[in-house]
């Protein structure tokens, strides 16, 4: 193998000869190119072409930012459609050193990470299914859509399944005093099919649906 080892006969010194300076310069240079120039140029161009999306697809109502089209938010009141369970947590407002449940905390995305045989997971699913049936006036043995009782990966899932939305429609219509057909029509309007006809599954954007409900309800709920 003498033909290959010509360069190595002088040992490690000749191998590393002249590398130290280029190695250090390359670290700084490519940090500037890939870590600063590339993201900054992208930011500049993106904000000219798509200023709305670049800032987070925010929804403004009556001059106030009410959320992002892409990020789910927590709905507990009966007059709104509810999103999927979320296990995100946040700092306790009374004691910031403690962490408490805070569903749809977009400052700290989180999932349960519980495995299929986890007792905690099964207990939680049982409890959510019970609460879902009670809230929506379903029979105690009525099947519940899986997305309504399982926590999403991000804790910020903006969508629910069409099956889930339809089961909640009766409750929402009753509390709001709207005809069920109106509410179901709104659900249909806010159902997206597969993207470009092939990708993903049908889904309903909960925040957009609830905004449409508010717009359709002449007398908004008192808290608004």
Partner 1 sequence: MEHDLTQFALILAIMAGLVFVLGKWMTHLFVSPAHNIIERGTYRLLGVDPAEKMSWKRYGMVLLLSNAAMMLLGYLLLRVQQYIPGDALERASQSPHLAFNTAASFITNTNWQSYSGETSLSNFSQMAVITFLMTVSAATGVAAAGGFIRGLSRKSAADIGNYWVDFTRVIFRLLLPICFVLALVYVWQGIPQTLNAEAIANTLEGARQQLIVGPVASLETIKHIGTNGGGFFAMNSAHPFENPTPLTNTLHILSMLLIPSALTYTFGSMIARRRQGWAFFAAFLVMFLGFLALVYSAERAGNPMFASAGVDQAQTQLQAGGNMEGKELRFGIAQTSLFVTTTTAATTGSVDAMHSSLTPLGGLVPIAEMMLNNVFGGDGVGLINLVTYAILTVFLVGMMIGRTPEFLGKKVEAREMKFVMLAVLAHPFSILGFTALACLTPSTLASLANMGPHGFSEVLYAYTSGTANNGSAFAGLNANTPFFNTTIGLAMLIGRYLTLLPMLAVAGVMAAKTTVPEGPGTLSTSTPLFTGLLVFVVIIVGGLTFLPALALGPIVEHLLMLSGTTF
Q: Within 37-66, which residues bind partner 1 (CB under 8 A)?
A: 38-43, 45-47, 49-50, 53-59, 64-66
Is 207 an interacting residue with respect to partner 1 (CB under 8 A)? yes
Which residues, 6+ apart, have CB-to-CB distance to 88 below 8 Å?
102, 103, 104, 105, 108, 109, 110, 155, 156
Mapped onto helix, strand or coil, the DSSP state of residue 103 is coil
Strands of 10-126, DSSP E: 58-61, 64-68, 89-92, 95-101
Does the protein bind partner 1 through residue 81 (CB under 8 A)?
no
Q: Which of 63, 96, 97, 199 binds partner 1 (CB under 8 A)?
A: 199
Region for 98 from its dihedrals, namely left if φ exceeds 0, alpha if ψ lies in -120 to 50, beta otherwise = beta
185 binds partner 1 (CB under 8 A): no
> Quick one: which of 100, 108, 175, 181 contacts partner 1 (CB under 8 A)?
108
CB of 179 to partner 1, least distance (A): 21
Site string for partner 1, 3-32 (x = CB under 8 A): xxxxxx------xx-xxxxxxxxxxxxxx-
217 sits near partner 1 (criterion: CB under 8 A) = no
How far is residue 201 from each of residues 157, 196, 197, measured CA to CA in Å? 14, 11, 10
Residues in binding contact with partner 1, number by CB under 8 A: 120
| Calpha distance 62→183 (Å, rounded) | 23
CB of 76 to partner 1, least distance (A): 7
> Shortest approach of partner 1 to residue 178 CB, angstroms?
17
State which residue, 180 or 202, has the beta carbon closest to partner 1.
202
Structure tokens at 88: 């995100």
∠ CA 184-189-190 to the nearest 5 degrees? 100
Rounded to the nearest whole angstrom, what is the least distance from the CB of residue 104 to partner 1 in the complex?
7
Strand-pair partners of 99: 91
Contact pick of 78, 89, 131, 150 for partner 1 (by CB under 8 A):
150
């Amino acid at each position: 193998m003498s033909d290959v080892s010509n360069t190595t006969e002088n040992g490690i010194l000749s191998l590393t000869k002249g590398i130290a300076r280029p190695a250090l310069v390359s670290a700084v240079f490519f940090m500037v190119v890939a870590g600063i120039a590339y993201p900054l140029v992208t930011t500049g161009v993106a904000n000219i072409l798509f200023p709305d999306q670049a800032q987070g697809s925010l929804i403004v109502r009556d001059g106030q930012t009410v959320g992002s089209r892409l990020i789910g938010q927590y709905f507990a009141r009966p007059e709104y459609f509810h999103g999927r369970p979320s296990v995100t947590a946040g700092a306790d407002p009374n004691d910031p050193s403690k962490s408490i449940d805070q569903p749809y905390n977009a400052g700290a995305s989180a999932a349960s990470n519980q495995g299929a045989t986890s007792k905690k997971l099964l207990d939680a699913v049982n409890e959510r299914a019970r609460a879902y049936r009670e809230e929506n006036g379903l029979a105690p043995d009525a099947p519940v859509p899986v997305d309504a009782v399982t926590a999403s990966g991000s804790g910020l899932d903006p969508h629910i399944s069409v099956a889930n939305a339809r089961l909640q429609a009766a409750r929402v219509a009753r509390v709001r005093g709207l005809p069920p057909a109106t509410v179901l029509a709104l659900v249909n309007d806010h159902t997206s099919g597969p993207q470009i006809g092939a990708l993903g599954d049908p889904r309903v954007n909960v925040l957009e649906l609830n905004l449409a409900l508010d717009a359709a309800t002449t007398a908004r709920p008192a808290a608004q």
